[in-house]
Chains A and B, each alone.
Chain A
Amino acid sequence: MTTFDLNFAVDYFTLFDLPRAQSLDMERLEQRFRSIQSQVHPDKHAHAADADRRLAMQWATRVNEAFQTLKSPGKRARYLLQLLGHDAQIESNTAMPVEFLMSQMELREAVMAARSAADETALEEVRLHLLAEIKGEYERLAGLIDVSKDFSAAANAVRQLMFQEKLLNEIDDALEAVTA
C-alpha cells in the first residue's frame, strides 16, 4: 500500500500515482482513474450523509479534471511545465516562428475555401493532415520535456499546439455547418 498521505491537494500525477513525465502509460492512467472514481463518485455515496455526498462530488470533480488534464497530451504538457516551474505563457507570449504561422495560414485558407464550397471531402483531408501534424507535435513534446529537458522549447511547442487545436475545432465547426 502507498505510504504517502493522499489528500485532496496533491498534484495530478501524485493523485494517480504516476511519474511526473510527458510520456505516460495511458492504460495505467485509465485504470487508476477508473478505480479511484469507483470509490469517490457521488453514485457510490448516494445514500450516505450530506457531508459525504458533498465531499464525493468535490473528489469526483477533481479526479475528472485530473484525468482530462493528463489524458490530453497538450493539456498534460501545459500542466507539467507549470509544475516544473516553467509557465507556458499562453496569454502573454504570442511570438511564433514565421514558417509555422505561414503553414497554419495556408491550412486556414484551405478550410475557409472548403467551407464556402461546402466541400466535405476537402475538409476531411485538411482535418487528417492537421491531425498528423498534431500527433508529430505530441511526440516532439515528449522528447523536449522528458529527454532533452528543454523547457523553453517545450513551452513554444505547447503554444503552437494550442494554435493547431483551435484550428481543429474550426474544422469541426465547418464540417458541422457543411453536413447539417
Chain B
Amino acid sequence: MALLQIAEPGESAAPHEHRLAVGIDLGTTNSLVATVRSGMSVVLNDAVGRPLLPSVVGYAADGSVEVGYSAEAKQFIDPKNTIVSVKRFMGRGRGDIAHIETLPYDFVDTEGMVKLRTIAGIKSPVEISAEILKTVRNRAEATLGGELTGAVITVPAYFDDAQRQATKDAARLAGLNVLRLLNEPTAAAIAYGLDNSAEGIYAVFDLGGGTFDISILRLSKGVFEVMATGGDSALGGDDFDHRIFCWIIEQAKLTPLSPQDARLLQMRAREAKEQLSQHGRAPITVKLGSGEYVDLVLSTEVFAEITRTLVQKTLAPTRKALRDAGLTVADVRGVVMVGGSTRMPQIQHAVAELFKQEPLNNLDPEKVVALGAAIQANLLAGNRAAGDDWLLLDVIPLSLGLETMGGLVEKVIPRNSTIPVARAQEFTTFKDGQTAMVIHVVQGERELISDCRSLARFELRGIPPMVAGAARIRVTFQVDADGLLSVTAREQTTGREARIEVKPSYGLSDDEITGMLKDSFSHAGDDAFRRALRESQVEAQRLIEATQSALQDDADLLSILERAHVDAAVTRLQALMIGDDRRAIDQAMQGLSAATNEFAARRMNRSVQRALAGRNVNQISL
C-alpha cells in the first residue's frame, strides 16, 4: 500500500501546483471550453475531436438529459423538448423575447424569468444552461484529469444585471467555481492583444448567434482598458436566419407550419446563410411533413437586401460606443471581428465602410472568446508565470438607477463606468410621518421607469416618523468586478441601520437555487453533505496558503503578538480541516479571517506605496 505524504507544518504541500482552470464561452449556438497548457491557450475537444458543443439541451420522459450534437439531431423529432438558443431566455421575461410565437416551446405563464414546460418537468433557462455547463465541465475534467479550481465564464458585454446573475446561477448549479464573469469582446481582446503585442485603440465587433457587442479598448503596456461598450443583447445570427425563414415562407406561400416543419425550415435557413458566406447563391430545397415541396435559390444580393435593417442595428451602437469613448473612427487602429456571424459578407462590408479600414479576421472568430477566457482563468487561479503581469479594466454597459416620484429614473451609476464602482446618493421622504420606502432599482438609459429593466425592489422600513423631506436615506450601489450589482440603504439622521428586503425581479432567489442544487444532488446520487465538507476543506486550504504567502512577503508588518495570534489561528484551522466537522472548519476560517483583517489592510497600503514608488512587490521581495 502506498504511503500518504504529509507536508511539514507551515509549508504548503505543493508550492508550485498547477491549478486546473478553464475559460468557458457559453454561446447562444455553440459553447466551448479552453485552458492554458504549457503556456498556450487551447480549446478542449470532445472525445471524438470536435471543439464545439452545440448549445442544445434535450429532455426525455425518463428524466435523462442530452446535450450537444445528439440533442441537436433530435430537434426535428421532438422540438418541444429540445431547447436551442436558451441564452436568449436568460434573465428574460415573456415580453422580452422576440418572435416568441414562432418558437415551438411550451412557455409557462409566470412572473419574472420565463420557464419552459418539458416532458421532464418545468425548467428555467438557468437549469437548462447549467446542463450545458455540466457537460463542458465534465469534458474539461476528463481531459485535464482532475477537479477544476475554477472557471471564467464569458457573457455578452451588453448583458444586464439580470442576465449576468442568471449566468452565474447556472454555473453554481453546474458545480463550477466562478472566478470571474468576463465580457466576451474583452476576452477576445485579451487573446488578440497578447498574441499580437497590440498597442493603441482597438474596436472589437462581436456578432454571435444571439447577441451583439461592440467594445472600444485601449491597449497599453499590459493594461486592457475598456473605454466604452455597446450592443444589443437580442441581435445575432438567429435573427438573420429568421429573415431567411420568413423569406422562404413568403416566397413559397406556405400556410401555418407544424413545429417540426418550422424547425426544419429554420435549419435550412441557417444552412443557406452559412453557404452564402462562401458562395454567391444558396439553393434551398425542403420536403415538408405536409408533403409540400420548397425549391428556392437565395442570392447574396437578396440576402443583403432582406437583412439590411439588421446590419444597420449593429452600426448605431457602434457609433454610440465611439462617441461615449470620445473617439472617432480615425482613432481606431484595428477592428477585431469575433463571433461566427461576422463571417457574413454584408457585415464585413458594413464594418469596413464604417471604420474606413479592412477588419481583422486573423483569429478564429468562434474560438477566440474561449481562448481569452482561459488566459484570464489561468491568471486568476494563481498560475501566474513571469511576464503575465497584465491587467484588465472593464466597464458596466448600462446605467444603473432608482425610481423616483412620477415614474422617473434617477441615474446613480452611468454606463461605461470602470468597475468595480460604488456610488451613494441621498433620497428623502415624500409624506409627513412616512416610515417605509420602496427602493426600485432599474437598469437602462431611458428617463421613464417603464422603459428600463427592473432589477430589484427593496423595502426600507423603520424610518423614524418625520416631516416630509427631513429624512436622509443613503442608497449605495456597488458593482463588483463581475459587473454584478448589490444595493444597500440606510437611514442617516438616526444612524440606525434599517432592514432591507431584496426581491430580484428576474433572477432566482437563493432558496430556489438551493432547492435546485438539492434536486441535482439527489438525482446524481451525490452526497450533499460530503460535497459541502469538501468545499469547506478546499476553501480552508486556500485560506491557509494565502495567509502563509502573505506572511512570507510582509511578516514585518506584524508585531510579535499579532504574529502569534495569526499563527495560532492557522494552526487551529489546520487541525480542524482534517476532520469532518464542517461547521468547526467554517468557524476556524472566520477566526483566521478576523485575525488577518488588519494585516491585509496594512499590506494593501504597502503595495500602493510601492506602486507609487515605481517598484513592484516581486522586485522587492527578491
Contacts of B380 in A (CB 8 A): 43, 46-47
Is the CB–CB distance between A2 and B613 below 8 Å?
yes
Is the CB–CB distance between A32 and B221 below 8 Å?
no
CB distance from B245 to the nearest CB of A (A): 25
Contacts of A1 in B (CB 8 A): 609-610, 613
Q: Contacts A32-B611, A39-B617, A61-B478 given; 17 further ones with Cβ under 8 A?
A: A2-B609, A5-B605, A32-B612, A34-B223, A35-B614, A42-B420, A43-B180, A43-B380, A50-B543, A51-B596, A51-B597, A51-B600, A55-B601, A61-B422, A65-B422, A68-B418, A172-B323
**Given A36-B611, A39-B610, A56-B604, also A47-B421 (CB < 8 A):** no
Is the CB–CB distance between A57 and B481 below 8 Å?
yes
Rounded to whole angstroms, the CA-CA distance of A136 and B603 in the bound complex is: 43
Is the CB–CB distance between A37 and B393 below 8 Å?
yes
Does A84 reach chain B (CB closer than 8 Å)?
A: no
Task: Give the nearest-CB partner of A172 in chain B.
Answer: B323
Our pick among B316, B421, B592, B597 for the contact of A65 (Cβ within 8 Å) is: B421
Does B608 reach chain A (CB closer than 8 Å)?
A: yes
Contacts of A52 in B (CB 8 A): 546, 550, 600, 603-604
Does A26 reach chain B (CB closer than 8 Å)?
A: no
Is the CB–CB distance between B612 and A43 below 8 Å?
no
- 26 intermolecular pairs with C-beta atoms under 8 Å apart: A1-B609, A6-B609, A7-B605, A17-B612, A32-B611, A34-B391, A35-B611, A36-B611, A37-B391, A38-B611, A39-B604, A39-B610, A41-B391, A42-B480, A42-B481, A43-B379, A46-B180, A46-B381, A47-B19, A49-B542, A49-B592, A60-B420, A64-B419, A65-B422, A67-B418, A68-B418
Task: Give the nearest-CB partner of B595 in chain A.
Answer: A51
Give the number of residues in A that approach B within 8 Å (Cβ atoms). Answer: 43
Nearest 3 interchain pairs by C-beta: A46-B380, A47-B382, A39-B607
Rounded to whole angstroms, the CA-CA distance of A56 and B601 in the bound complex is: 9
Rounded to whole angstroms, the CA-CA distance of A57 and B36 in the bound complex is: 26
Contacts of A42 in B (CB 8 A): 420, 480-481
Is the CB–CB distance between B389 and A38 below 8 Å?
yes
Rounded to whole angstroms, the CA-CA distance of A68 and B395 in the bound complex is: 12
Does A70 reach chain B (CB closer than 8 Å)?
A: no
Does B392 reach chain A (CB closer than 8 Å)?
A: yes
Digit string of A58-89 for contact with B (CB within 8 Å is 1, else 0)?
01110011011000000000000000000000
Is the CB–CB distance between A64 and B605 below 8 Å?
no
CB distance from A164 to the nearest CB of B (A): 15
CB distance from A125 to the nearest CB of B (A): 15
Our pick among B382, B391, B420, B616 for the contact of A46 (Cβ within 8 Å) is: B382
Rounded to whole angstroms, the CA-CA distance of A59 and B606 in the bound complex is: 13
Q: Considering the complex, which residues of chain A in the window 97-142 have a beta carbon less than 8 Å from any beta carbon of chain B?
A: none
Does A180 reach chain B (CB closer than 8 Å)?
A: yes
Is the CB–CB distance between B608 and A55 below 8 Å?
no
Contacts of B316 in A (CB 8 A): 176, 179-180
Contacts of A65 in B (CB 8 A): 421-422
Does A40 reach chain B (CB closer than 8 Å)?
A: yes
CB distance from B504 to the nearest CB of A (A): 21
Contacts of A55 in B (CB 8 A): 600-601, 604
Does A48 reach chain B (CB closer than 8 Å)?
A: yes
CB distance from A114 to the nearest CB of B (A): 16
Rounded to whole angstroms, the CA-CA distance of A6 and B126 in the bound complex is: 44
Rounded to whole angstroms, the CA-CA distance of A47 and B221 in the bound complex is: 24
Contacts of B600 in A (CB 8 A): 49, 51-52, 55
Contacts of A49 in B (CB 8 A): 542-543, 546-547, 550, 592-593, 596, 600
Rounded to whole angstroms, the CA-CA distance of A6 and B603 in the bound complex is: 11
Rounded to whole angstroms, the CA-CA distance of A32 and B613 in the bound complex is: 10
Does A161 reach chain B (CB closer than 8 Å)?
A: no
Rounded to whole angstroms, the CA-CA distance of A33 and B614 in the bound complex is: 12
Is the CB–CB distance between B546 and A59 below 8 Å?
no
Rounded to whole angstroms, the CA-CA distance of A28 and B614 in the bound complex is: 12
Does B320 reach chain A (CB closer than 8 Å)?
A: yes
Does A175 reach chain B (CB closer than 8 Å)?
A: yes
Residue among B221, B376, B609 having the largest count of chain A Cβ atoms under 10 Å? B609
Does B417 reach chain A (CB closer than 8 Å)?
A: yes
Rounded to whole angstroms, the CA-CA distance of A172 and B321 in the bound complex is: 11
Rounded to whole angstroms, the CA-CA distance of A35 and B389 in the bound complex is: 11
Does B461 reach chain A (CB closer than 8 Å)?
A: no
**Given A49-B547, A61-B421, also A2-B612 (CB < 8 A):** yes
Rounded to whole angstroms, the CA-CA distance of A49 and B589 in the bound complex is: 10
Rounded to whole angstroms, the CA-CA distance of A64 and B614 in the bound complex is: 19
Rounded to whole angstroms, the CA-CA distance of A61 and B542 in the bound complex is: 25
Does B139 reach chain A (CB closer than 8 Å)?
A: no
Is the CB–CB distance between A179 and B180 below 8 Å?
no
Rounded to whole angstroms, the CA-CA distance of A44 and B422 in the bound complex is: 19
Rounded to whole angstroms, the CA-CA distance of A116 and B320 in the bound complex is: 19
Is the CB–CB distance between B179 and A46 below 8 Å?
yes
Our pick among B608, B613, B617 for the contact of A59 (Cβ within 8 Å) is: B608
Is the CB–CB distance between B420 and A57 below 8 Å?
yes
Contacts of B547 in A (CB 8 A): 49
Rounded to whole angstroms, the CA-CA distance of A77 and B515 in the bound complex is: 53
Q: Considering the complex, which residues of chain B in the window 223-241 have a beta carbon less than 8 Å from any beta carbon of chain A?
A: 223
**Given A35-B612, A42-B481, A47-B380, also A59-B604 (CB < 8 A):** yes
Rounded to whole angstroms, the CA-CA distance of A2 and B613 in the bound complex is: 7
Residue among B480, B481, B593, B597 having the largest count of chain A Cβ atoms under 10 Å? B481
Does B319 reach chain A (CB closer than 8 Å)?
A: yes
Task: Give the nearest-CB partner of A52 in chain B.
Answer: B600
Task: Give the nearest-CB partner of B607 in chain A.
Answer: A39
CB distance from B214 to the nearest CB of A (A): 14
Contacts of A176 in B (CB 8 A): 316, 320
Is the CB–CB distance between B391 and A38 below 8 Å?
yes
Rounded to whole angstroms, the CA-CA distance of A1 and B606 in the bound complex is: 11
